[in-house]
């Protein structure tokens, strides 16, 4: 198990490997985007590659928990780089409800159907299992933050994406299209019903400034039940839903929202430049008033 924190977007990335076969999966890899100088770089993804190479891992899957709105996925970049190292094709995989998210945003960003069709190599059914060497992983549907959201259970470890955050951060927003605070509460309850010693590995961490702690990759179910500030034991569904909806109404959209979504519904592929250059173009919609 390797936990790699991407500081710019507060994203946790994970490499989970079978100790016997050295087969591995990478969960929620990040491609770096700077809006200051309009550059996309692979610093974070290359760090993941270095860990895999150092440990002699064969990466079999690149797993997405959902269509992220706060960072670009590095899945396609990693897939192509791994192929150059004579590894078998690592399958870019996510839950099957990504089709709903693709449909929602394709028209907004002018994404062609052909781009959507080739974006993912495998779409999981709910509760589907798949091997990671001698280990068995199970897909969990955990909607609420987004409708397509999945988690991955491997042994007593669950990679939750944005379906639950560490106790002093609490929960994720639910105001994206087809997000649902009530569904998120139920997804969190599904996680909190797991055995107390299970580790819940979060998709992000944003340590409160006055807590003075470093980012944490996981806490146990027991710790979440005791201390999650939004959904600890005894928090009612209606109480959570009212608080979450009120809070979401005050939030600004994520800084990388438009860039992230149009890349991530493509599985990490960048739009191809029509002039054949190394540039790519990402749409940013503007609201234009009526001029008279």
Q: What is the pTM of this model?
A: 0.93
Please give the pLDDT value at position 142. 98
Q: Which of the listed CATH numbers 3.40.50.2020, 3.60.15.10, 3.30.950.10, 3.10.20.740 matches domain 2-264?
A: 3.60.15.10
CB–CB of 38/25 below 8 Å? no
Spatial separation of the C-alpha atoms in residues 72 and 28, rounded to whole Å: 10
Tell me the pLDDT band of 275, cut-offs 50, 70 and 90: low
Q: How many helices (H) and strands (E) does the chain have?
A: 8, 15
Structure confidence by residue, pLDDT tens digits, 235-264: 999 999 999 999 999 999 999 999 999 999
DSSP-derived 3-state class of residue 92 = strand
- Average pLDDT over the chain reads 93
Spatial separation of the C-alpha atoms in residues 129 and 140, rounded to whole Å: 10
Structure confidence by residue, pLDDT tens digits, 116-131: 999 999 999 999 999 9
- Alpha helices by DSSP H, listed for 149-209, are 181-192
Spatial separation of the C-alpha atoms in residues 58 and 55, rounded to whole Å: 9
Q: Please state which of the ranges 36-45, 81-90, 147-156, 205-214 shows the lowest mean pLDDT.
A: 205-214
More confident residue, 211 or 123: 123
61-85 average pLDDT score? 97
Maximum CA pair distance of the chain?
70
**How many angstroms separate the first and last alpha carbons of the chain?**
61
DSSP 204: B
283 pLDDT above the threshold of 80: no
In 189-280, DSSP assigns E strands to 199-202, 218-220
Please give the pLDDT value at position 288. 65
Tell me the pLDDT band of 64, cut-offs 50, 70 and 90: very high
Please give the pLDDT value at position 157. 98
202-228 average pLDDT score? 91
192-206 average pLDDT score? 97
Please give the pLDDT value at position 274. 61
In which residue are the tokens 């209606």 written?
A: 238
Please give the pLDDT value at position 96. 98
């Amino acid at each position: 198990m390797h936990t790699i924190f991407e500081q710019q977007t507060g994203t946790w990335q994970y490499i989970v490997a079978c100790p016997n076969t050295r087969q591995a999966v990478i969960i929620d890899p990040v491609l770096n985007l700077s809006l200051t100088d309009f550059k996309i770089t692979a610093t974070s993804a290359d760090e993941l590659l270095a860990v895999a190479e150092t440990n002699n891992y064969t990466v079999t899957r690149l797993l997405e928990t959902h269509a992220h709105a706060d960072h670009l996925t590095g899945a396609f970049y990693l897939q192509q780089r791994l192929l150059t190292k004579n590894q078998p094709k690592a399958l870019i995989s996510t839950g099957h409800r990504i089709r709903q998210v693709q449909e929602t945003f394709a028209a907004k960003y002018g994404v062609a159907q052909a781009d959507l069709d080739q974006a993912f190599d495998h779409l999981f059914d709910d509760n589907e299992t798949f091997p990671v060497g001698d280990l068995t992983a199970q897909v969990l549907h955990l909607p609420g933050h987004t409708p397509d959201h999945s988690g991955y259970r491997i042994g007593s470890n669950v990679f939750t994406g944005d379906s639950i955050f560490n106790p002093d951060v609490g929960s994720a927003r639910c105001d994206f299209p087809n997000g649902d605070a009530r569904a998120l509460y139920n997804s969190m309850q599904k996680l909190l019903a797991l055995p107390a010693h299970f580790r819940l590995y979060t998709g992000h961490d944003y340590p409160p400034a006055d807590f003075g702690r470093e980012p944490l990759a996981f806490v146990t179910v027991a710790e979440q039940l005791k201390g999650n500030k939004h959904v600890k034991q005894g928090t009612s569904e209606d109480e959570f839903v009212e608080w979450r909806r009120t809070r979401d109404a005050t939030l600004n959209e994520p800084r990388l929202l438009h860039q992230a979504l149009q890349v991530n519904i493509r599985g990490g592929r960048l739009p191809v430049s029509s002039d054949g250059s190394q540039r790519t173009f990402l749409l940013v919609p503007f609201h234009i008033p009526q001029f008279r």
